[in-house]
Structure 1
């Protein structure tokens, strides 16, 4: 039986962590047991929920400020209770939303360059939940639209600009995860009652619902760009598993696979540009990654990244922040229990020094496609796209546009033609000029240089003629040199005689 390997350009993706001095160290990471990632990243900043007494706070560091974090580093500290979740705005890299046990959602504006002192004043406080708020998610394409989910079994969709709630949706049980579809007209949520629901984001109507994973532990779901839904959860035997579902039918999974028997909740991170899904679990030391395609079994295992340290939390860098010069397709920020935030780039090995267009299709831009008012009035739009090629810097020499002649134009069939050479005209010898008095003496004309013949192949007859002409010119130059020498001697004698005559007159 012939064995054939499935072809994929991501089959050799590998993760290699950066050195410790290129990571972030000595961070007092929160000890909360809430099922959250505790970390959020964008191309400018990394935000990490920290341990704080008497209130909630989180740390915001510029991406380039690596190394040891000072114990008195400035924090974002405005919540009255622990912070549970963070989310950077996809349309403004300086704006971040935080959810807290104090039943509020706060939106913060980070000053340019990062924090210098503790930030306690937020842009807006969103208050409507009656119990702690555990999830915040921004709309993928509409400006200033934010979704929050709390333990009061309610989901609110806010206009951050005005601070008012557009939509209030109530579900039967506690929400574990929420994910918008590509244009944000609907979202999928998983709940404690083991039911997964697809809900219209404007009306709050349930479009599809059904039981997916049979286990009682929390499950997670993420919308794929083609409308399918990828989930992680537990079986009845408490085995961790993943599944792929049709958004219109939850009666049977497109595929369902068991992973292991660990008890940590698995979080799926989805990259829509590569159609890859990364599975990360709290307490795990392994990151698994898969590719989702249209061919069965739909979810294809690629590889895994394994380390010795267990994960406390993690963040996923948007595609705008990856390094395209080294073929980096994704970057994960892994929180350790010892306070280290480790940076792990995932790259595709390529030897070419050119921009790899097949790895980097146009990705989501940092500009909103529509306004929040247009979205609530019924307008849908997919996220704006940008090319990552503008961030590529070639390590090789810059290509120069050189126009070369066509070598076929010089090719002659048969005997090659003899190159045309202009024959020089013979030069007649001229008699030596008669001696002139000193006042009328004029310098001899400059010698005419011999014509350059380098690089030109002459026929034999022409070469002999040219050699004889060169010999005549040399002979003529020698004769003129003799005449010049005689004239110089005569001039010197005349000048000496004049000086003698002047001396005699003075005496």
Structure 2
């Protein structure tokens, strides 16, 4: 029999990178040399924006995508900040709107002319002031119009309504150290952050709560990054203690249950045994020295309706295979049941044990029981099942009984011997022998 390794092919398997020709590049751009860990570049379907060197303040270029080639040093810039620009981000809902954060502690939002700049742009649409230190992170909400997030070196995250220039939420207690980056999840209900304290956090901005936290996502001292993926997982890049590059993919983190008392052991209730009407998602049975303590895990929800997302079909009590089928090489997935109506235990099948010939079927191959001849055992075992006549069956039964009696006699003999040895040992310990 030959085996062939089967590998699932990825549709991205043969993707490769290829640089464009020189005439399709943007040349002679004086990219900012500010010492800040930023991308310094933002692009959308209409414009390319690049943070550039500027004397006496901060500036960035905004170029139409088709303006390739050499960029004249006199090309107009967006230059309203009084300190270097640290981060820029295009609005996802308006390709002519861009936000910037600066060392001057402000956030500015700019309206770019439809055909690009023909003169320096110095007047922003709105100036957002709320940070006490430089603003190094800017990111628009992915689905809500006019919602903008900024994070500064004051370790504060602010969320703004750009349309009214008001501060919506101030998150100033979650981060004890410098925030490296912020990333919204797909629908903008949460965002994740990477912090200098080596922790990755998931935060609900509207409630101001820390949803999940991961300590030492990467243990290296160099900056790390965390981004939400479309499926809800979090992707991080960072470094090990030896400054080796690391990549990691994380499932969303769960809250933890802690107890002052250690456990001797722990049991876990199968899913079908949970109370779906109470949104119970797990139940553990914690063993102490002298008691067993159930610990119930629930998801707080107000609705009395069945929560489909909490209770996908789960493994039921019905077996998918019999033992013999599995031994024969078959495989099968568990038989799933729905918990929509809550699981009600039904009458279970009694466990039926069909005993085999324990003397001939369970002993090691090539061995025989004491008191029985090898030839007799071989003859009994080699007789095909189901082909015996009544007389042969009676003879085989008598043969088994003889073996059983011989075994019983041997056991009795060994028991008597053990008793004699124990008696002798007792006398020796008492000094009688």
Please give the range of the TM-score, normalised by the shorter of the 2 chains.
0.5 to 0.7
Q: Which residue of 2 aligns with 1:327?
A: none
Q: Which residue of 1 aligns with 2:204?
A: 200
Question: Which aligned pairs between 1:346-495 and structure 2 lie closer than 5 A?
Answer: none
Q: Which residue of 1 aligns with 2:135?
A: 133
Question: Which aligned pairs between 1:233-248 and structure 2 lie closer than 5 A?
Answer: 233-248=238-253
Rg comparison, structure with higher value: 1
Q: Which residue of 1 aligns with 2:191?
A: 187
Cα RMSD, aligned residues only: 1.3
Q: CA deviation at 1:57?
A: 0.2
Q: Measure the CA separation in 2 of the matches of 1:138 and 1:226.
A: 19
Q: CA deviation at 1:249?
A: 4.1
Unmatched runs of 5 consecutive residues or more in structure 1: 252-507
Q: Is the 8 A contact 2:106 2:129 kept in 1?
A: yes
Q: Is the 8 A contact 1:88 1:97 kept in 2?
A: yes
1:297-334 Cα distance to aligned partner (Å, 9 max, x none):
xxxxxxxxxxxxxxxxxxxxxxxxxxxxxxxxxxxxxx
Q: TM-score if structure 2 supplies the norm length?
A: 0.57
Q: CA deviation at 1:214?
A: 1.0
Q: Is the 8 A contact 2:211 2:255 kept in 1?
A: no
SS of the residue corresponding to residue 15 of structure 1 reads coil
Query: Looking at both structures, which has the greater relative contact order when contacts are Cα pairs under 8 Å and sequence separation is at least 6?
Result: 1
Q: Is the 8 A contact 1:167 1:203 kept in 2?
A: no
Q: Measure the CA separation in 2 of the matches of 1:132 and 1:247.
A: 30
Q: TM-score if structure 1 supplies the norm length?
A: 0.49
Q: Is the 8 A contact 1:194 1:213 kept in 2?
A: yes
Q: Is the 8 A contact 1:184 1:201 kept in 2?
A: no
Q: Measure the CA separation in 2 of the matches of 1:173 and 1:2.
A: 53
Question: Which aligned pairs between 1:13-28 and structure 2 lie closer than 5 A?
Answer: 13-28=15-30
Unmatched runs of 5 consecutive residues or more in structure 2: 257-433
Q: Measure the CA separation in 2 of the matches of 1:70 and 1:5.
A: 52
1:196-247 Cα distance to aligned partner (Å, 9 max, x none):
1110021221010121111121110010111110100111111110101111
Q: Which residue of 2 aligns with 1:428?
A: none
Q: Measure the CA separation in 1 of the matches of 2:63 and 2:136.
A: 23
Q: CA deviation at 1:250?
A: 9.3
Q: Measure the CA separation in 2 of the matches of 1:250 and 1:109.
A: 42
Task: Work out which of the residue numbers 67, 70, 87 in structure 1 matches 2:89.
Answer: 87
1:426-452 Cα distance to aligned partner (Å, 9 max, x none):
xxxxxxxxxxxxxxxxxxxxxxxxxxx
Q: Measure the CA separation in 1 of the matches of 2:198 and 2:254.
A: 16
Q: CA deviation at 1:143?
A: 0.4
Q: Which residue of 1 aligns with 2:182?
A: 178
Question: Which aligned pairs between 1:37-436 and structure 2 lie closer than 5 A?
Answer: 37-170=39-172, 171-211=175-215, 212-249=217-254
1:233-278 Cα distance to aligned partner (Å, 9 max, x none):
1111111101011112499xxxxxxxxxxxxxxxxxxxxxxxxxxx
Q: Measure the CA separation in 1 of the matches of 2:157 and 2:79.
A: 25
1:12-68 Cα distance to aligned partner (Å, 9 max, x none):
001111111111101111111210000000000000000011100000000011111
Q: Structure 1 residues 91 and 13, CA, compared in 2 at 3 Å: closer, same or farther?
A: same
Q: Which residue of 2 aligns with 1:470?
A: none
Q: Measure the CA separation in 2 of the matches of 1:210 and 1:237.
A: 20
Q: Measure the CA separation in 1 of the matches of 2:202 and 2:7.
A: 36
1:406-436 Cα distance to aligned partner (Å, 9 max, x none):
xxxxxxxxxxxxxxxxxxxxxxxxxxxxxxx
Q: Is the 8 A contact 2:204 2:210 kept in 1?
A: yes
Q: Measure the CA separation in 1 of the matches of 2:85 and 2:233.
A: 31
Q: CA deviation at 1:3?
A: 3.8
How many residues get paired?
251
